[in-house]
Amino acid sequence: MGKKVYVGNIGPNANKEALEALFAYFGTVENAYIISDRRTGKSKGFGFVEMSTEDEAKAAIDALDGKDCAGFTVKVSYAKEPE
């Protein structure tokens, strides 16, 4: 199983395909999704990407954290495991 990466401060027009394309540059994306509000269906501004290896996840985090993506400075880090 790969490493799960948290992606915060995603622009309101971002979609799953754009998230996958952004992270695919760093390796194999096993899954990508943006969390949406249940009531409105609109993005909550964050999502998760599952990379196939820890090295790929680290490369994506190192390259993308704090960078401008479509006018938004994204926060990219390892996702916290549920307690």
pLDDT tens track for 16-75: 999 999 999 999 999 999 999 999 988 999 999 999 999 999 999 999 999 998 889 999
Q: Note the pLDDT of residue 51.
A: 96
Query: Could you tell me the residue ranges of all domains in the chain?
Result: 3-78
Of 79, 64, 82, 80, nearest to 10 by C-alpha is 64
Cα–Cα distance measured from residue 82 to residue 2, given in angstroms and rounded to the nearest whole number? 16
Structure-model confidence comparison of residues 81 and 66, the more confident one: 66
The matching CATH number, chosen from 3.40.190.10, 3.30.70.330, 3.40.50.1370, 3.40.50.300, for 3-78 is 3.30.70.330
Tokens of 40: 């409105």
Q: Note the pLDDT of residue 1.
A: 44
pLDDT grade, residue 14 (50/70/90)?
confident
**The pTM is what?**
0.91
